[in-house]
A and B are shown apart, each in its own frame.
Chain A
Amino acid sequence: MSAIQPPASRVWWKEPIDRVEIIWVVVALLWCLIMFFMMPYWHIFGEQNLANEAYRTTPEAYSKKAQEVVDKYTVRTETDQKIPVVAPPAGSDVYLIARLWSWWPVLELEAGKSYRIHLMSMDWLHGFSLQPENINIEVHPGYDHVITVTPTRAGTYSIICNEYCGVNHHTMLSKLYVK
């Protein structure tokens, strides 16, 4: 009987399975388990993981914190819009605000040092896409998402929004400097 007809025998559960088919199932299962355990393995031995650190907060509370950092650590401004460039001390909390349609402020970090970067949106969902490093994180309104990053190479990076956020989504671009 073919797959479009009922099985020939009433009890098909007991029909023998070809040995090579069983081998394939076992090999595939082993591969599946390897892939599964890679994830916790990387949490223990790997260096690129999300922190699982997040807080509920309000736009006002978050902006206040962002403003404090900007007030303390701005080194210059860029572009006609006078966007502040902030150079925070290593190990400190840095707040990045995503809003329709910009990132604020611009960060200037040092290679080899770690920073606690906070990501949150003032309005809709946005996507923090750090290029060309290829770090992509979701930015929510109402949730302060914390990641501790350690830039490794000096250079100029871009922060592109890659979560569609309306008609000017493609204009949402900023920079991140690493010295």
Chain B
Amino acid sequence: MRSVLGFLAPKLLRALVAVWLVTTVVFVVMRLSGDPVPLLLPPDAPTSEILRVRHDLGLDRPLPMQYATFVGNALRGDFGRSIHFREPAWSVVVGYLPATLELGLTAFGLALVVAVPIGMLSAIHRNSPVDHAAMGVALVGQSAPTFFLGILFILTLSLKLGWFPTSGRGGWEHLVLPALTLGAFSMASIARLTRSAVLDVLRQDYVRTARAKGLPELAVVAKHTLKNAALPVVTITGLQFGTLLGGAVVTETVFAWPGIGRLAIQSIYNRDYPIVQCTVFLSAILFIVLNFAIDLFYGVLDPRVRPR
């Protein structure tokens, strides 16, 4: 029990420092880069009116004082009121979360389900046409910007072929294009990594031994290769989840998907400080929890990294 604690405690501490740093940087950068008030008021509002609203929102106080208030409230779970929506920031952000989780998990699942078999297939049949085709597509998937890919999907699969709706959230058919767009990068990198990891393992002595024993190829791959190739794949998969969160910003904007990525972008445009701080905080927590989970999962897969 103690050893588990010893394993977790430093990680937890580092995570807390990371959250604090991220929220602080966002706090300062947002305040230095613009003022929400002219965006709230009509274009003909006089300066006195701008000053009045700045005072009402507490934006005329010195930055360190604003920061102290922010930290004090955040520790109590209060992220302030959205300037744009006039509602508590936390409840606004939480309202956007299901849409992002739905999209992110679907994209992630899609990436895994497609990428791992393709990567394995490519490795087993390396330098065959199958391998070349799969890796060619993966290269495109990895290098095409999300924005480009999203618009391309809308124009071809939606507008030209009429298979899917162009945008918005609704039934499963609304989910396909954004999930494909968001998952494309991860899918490509997971496929490429699976291929090289499997290739690596296939060259190992124990695989040669297994083959020499006369085991059927399927058993060699399923039993001896897969488990050993999984370690690097799990690592990259965990990191990919972070990429997904970042990619959600663009994907959600292109597909008018009402998730927190789009909320974050809109709130930056609107200089809605409380919402931006809250989304960043939530994303940081999510990211850290995931990395944690991956660390633990590592221990399950590889006895050598388990705390002794």
The answer to whether A binds B is no
Q: CB within 8 Å of A: which residues of B? A: none
Residue ranges of A at the interface with B (Cβ–Cβ < 8 Å): none
